[in-house]
Chains A and B, each alone.
Chain A
Amino acid sequence: MNKMKDILTIGGKEFTSRFILGSGKFSLEMTKTVIDRGGVEMATLALRRANSGTDNILDYMPEGITLLPNTSGARTADEAVRIARLARELGCGDFVKIEVINDTKYLLPDNAETIKATEILAKEGFIVLPYMYPDLVAARRMADAGAAAVMPLGAPIGSNKGLLTRDFVKILVEEIPLPIIVDAGIGRPSQACEAMEMGVAAVMANTAVATARDVGLMAAAFKSAIEAGRNAYLAGLGRVLEHEAEASSPLTGFLED
């Protein structure tokens, strides 16, 4: 890693910002403000909401933003594949966030269907970022299927509960040789910061920003928190002193050199 210039590379594209914005919950005219104040370089786009009547969200996206169309609304791999192809036809580029949800109560992702969709779309040349429940085995299969990054949830989507899946996300950071992007559940900048300290590559947030009293200021707060967490990770966190009782008899007293 080049510490002078800390670059996040996904699908061959370079990003300096590690704050990915979910765009589904803003009024369209706020989009540009949030992107500017959050220093955002990649934003999701729910295709099902891309064109609501007269307004088109694409008209509100600033130049240079990488669009990450998602397949929200898909309940199966097949539906996700269809939405992804449609997004590409509409000129949204090759990036796609796969989101397959067939549970309307908790809105938890279906890892098995997501793996299938990842495999199909990666073969078609998409840069696939699967949204997933942080399960190591599923993440490995997504990596094998050609995912460009993996997006585990921190907590149920929209819950603002933070990093409930902390220990499992940490396992993905350690084991999966792809950028890990925490998606869903992050409710506060401090939680985004904590995720970054753990070594995740980026954080995605939407509800937390969209439901703030001052949306622009909250976007700026997330930007700072994510940068702080990233810097802490790069700097190497200090040791936590463990106040364990000293062993009464030494463990290494038997050595004869």
Chain B
Amino acid sequence: MELQENVLQHTAAYDYDAFTARDVHAALSKDALDVQDFGALLSPAALPLLETIARRAQADTRRYFGNSVTLYTPLYISNYCDNYCTYCGFNCGNDIKRGKLTLDEIERELRAIANTGLEEILLLTGESREKSGVAYIGEAVEAARKHFRTIGLEVYPLNVDEYAYLHERGADFVSIYQETYDRTLYSACHPHNSPKSDFAYRFAGQERAILGGMRGVSFGALLGLGNFRKDAFAAGVHACKLQRKYPHAEISFSVPRIRAAHNKSASELIANAVSESELLQVLLAYRVFLPFASINISTRERAGFRDNVIGLVANKISSGVKVTVGGHDDEQKGDPQFSIYDERDVKTIHSAILDRRLQPVYNDYIFS
């Protein structure tokens, strides 16, 4: 709770309009940036200085990650959900095709993905303890362990003992996105007393994952849901403070922008729309603020954007992506969570990385 209050206080005090170009230059002149400097990089005053910030960010990315760009893909194993997130295609009030892979189907999907050469996988479910419980996720992790070296989870937040259980089965990384750090908006977006409506439980998810033995945790806000500067700032401070508390934990960021979800009219979504320049600004600010953090670029962005941000800010990219339940080997069993803007397969992404004189990396983790 102390961590949460700390992050929310910083965020409440963050007045992005108060920063000037001078503050941005001052931040860039430092070896290590503090929270105020991070705020400057996310401010409107920094938007005309993206090229300057990009030069610093590229140097930081090269210093920490060299030429490496890691490839992975997500696998949705179930889209049953008990939540009513207003922005999401899996909203349980939505009339979509629901599905859940059997263990055999998971095995077939995993094999098909492994055949593309990938060695890292991210397993995803909707939030339904009934349809996709911890034991089910555990079985999926055990199956994935046979084909992949690195396994991440993007499932609903769990208790420490449950994270420990899944870590023992072979999972090492956990992604939990707070969506928005604006508590009022959070309540409005997660109505009906659904499991996800508990802001604090979700906020402390990364800490529980670390306490359960996970190697790394991912942070992010769904940019455009609320004020993207405040939310991107809060996610950065959240990650920074947690890393300080658990210096061994690996930190990573994703920067999902709100995009049309199934059954969701586009007009409702554009109110807080985040432009590509603003999205890049967020990516650059994360890189310069926490240069050691892993930054992932998803297929919510178009190929041209993704190809240009790898090596500049991002060190990780998904490929061969399906956001349906299954669909890699068998026919898909459930509708997608959102639309994707880059459908290139692993081979094509691999070549795109080489074309930029970067090095595709499939695994950098040795198991004990």
Q: Do A and B come from one complex?
A: yes
Complex: A194 Cα to B302 Cα, angstroms:
48
Interface string of A222-256 (1 = CB under 8 A from B): 00000000000000111110001001001110111
Any chain B CB within 8 A of the CB of A36? no
Give 6 nearest A-B pairs by CB, closest first.
A239-B29, A251-B54, A254-B308, A257-B275, A255-B276, A252-B50
Check if A175 sits within 8 Å of B244, measured CB to CB: yes
> Given contacts A140-B247, A257-B277, are A252 and B26 in contact (CB under 8 A)?
no
Min C-beta distance of A11 to chain B, whole Å: 22
Q: Hey, which bits of chain A sit against chain B, CB under 8 A?
A: 140, 170, 174-175, 236-240, 244, 247, 250-252, 254-257
A175-B247, A247-B55, A255-B277 known, 13 other contacts, Cβ within 8 Å = A175-B244, A238-B29, A239-B25, A239-B29, A240-B29, A244-B55, A251-B54, A254-B305, A255-B280, A256-B305, A257-B275, A257-B276, A257-B277
Interface string of B31-58 (1 = CB under 8 A from A): 1100000000000000000110011001
Complex: A257 Cα to B275 Cα, angstroms:
6
Complex: A251 Cα to B309 Cα, angstroms:
9
Check if B308 sits within 8 Å of A236, measured CB to CB: no
Partner of B276, one of A244, A251, A256: A256
**Residues of B close to A254: CB separation below 8 A:** 304-305, 307-308
**Residues of B close to A257: CB separation below 8 A:** 275-277
- Which secondary structure dominates where chain B touches chain A? helix
Any chain A CB within 8 A of the CB of B312? yes
**Residues of B close to A244: CB separation below 8 A:** 55
**Residues of A close to B25: CB separation below 8 A:** 239
Complex: A175 Cα to B58 Cα, angstroms:
24
> Given contacts A140-B247, A175-B244, A257-B275, are A252 and B29 in contact (CB under 8 A)?
no
Min C-beta distance of B297 to chain A, whole Å: 13
Closest to B279 in A: A255
| CB-CB contacts below 8 Å: B48-74 with A | 50-51, 54-55, 58
Check if B26 sits within 8 Å of A251, measured CB to CB: no
Complex: A237 Cα to B30 Cα, angstroms:
9
Q: Return 21 A-B CB contacts under 8 Å, by A number.
A: A170-B32, A238-B29, A239-B25, A239-B28, A239-B29, A240-B29, A244-B55, A247-B51, A251-B51, A251-B54, A251-B55, A252-B51, A252-B54, A252-B277, A252-B280, A254-B304, A254-B308, A255-B50, A256-B302, A257-B275, A257-B276
Check if B26 sits within 8 Å of A239, measured CB to CB: yes
**Residues of A close to B280: CB separation below 8 A:** 252, 255
Check if A170 sits within 8 Å of B312, measured CB to CB: no
Check if A251 sits within 8 Å of B312, measured CB to CB: yes
Min C-beta distance of A249 to chain B, whole Å: 11
Min C-beta distance of A241 to chain B, whole Å: 9
Min C-beta distance of B240 to chain A, whole Å: 11
Complex: A239 Cα to B29 Cα, angstroms:
5
Check if A170 sits within 8 Å of B29, measured CB to CB: no
**Residues of A close to B307: CB separation below 8 A:** 254
Check if A236 sits within 8 Å of B51, measured CB to CB: no
**Residues of A close to B26: CB separation below 8 A:** 236, 239
Interface string of B295-319 (1 = CB under 8 A from A): 0000000101101100010000000
Complex: A171 Cα to B28 Cα, angstroms:
18
Complex: A239 Cα to B30 Cα, angstroms:
8
Min C-beta distance of A26 to chain B, whole Å: 37
Interface string of B237-261 (1 = CB under 8 A from A): 0000000100100000000000000
Complex: A170 Cα to B31 Cα, angstroms:
10
Complex: A239 Cα to B308 Cα, angstroms:
29
Min C-beta distance of A143 to chain B, whole Å: 11
Complex: A244 Cα to B56 Cα, angstroms:
11
**Residues of B close to A174: CB separation below 8 A:** 32
Partner of B51, one of A170, A240, A250, A256: A250
**Residues of A close to B276: CB separation below 8 A:** 255-257
Min C-beta distance of B241 to chain A, whole Å: 11
Min C-beta distance of A175 to chain B, whole Å: 7
**Residues of A close to B275: CB separation below 8 A:** 257
Closest to A137 in B: B247
Closest to B31 in A: A170
| CB-CB contacts below 8 Å: B257-294 with A | 275-277, 280
Min C-beta distance of A237 to chain B, whole Å: 8
Complex: A174 Cα to B312 Cα, angstroms:
25
Min C-beta distance of A165 to chain B, whole Å: 15
**Residues of B close to A240: CB separation below 8 A:** 29
Min C-beta distance of B18 to chain A, whole Å: 15
Complex: A201 Cα to B70 Cα, angstroms:
41
Min C-beta distance of A118 to chain B, whole Å: 18
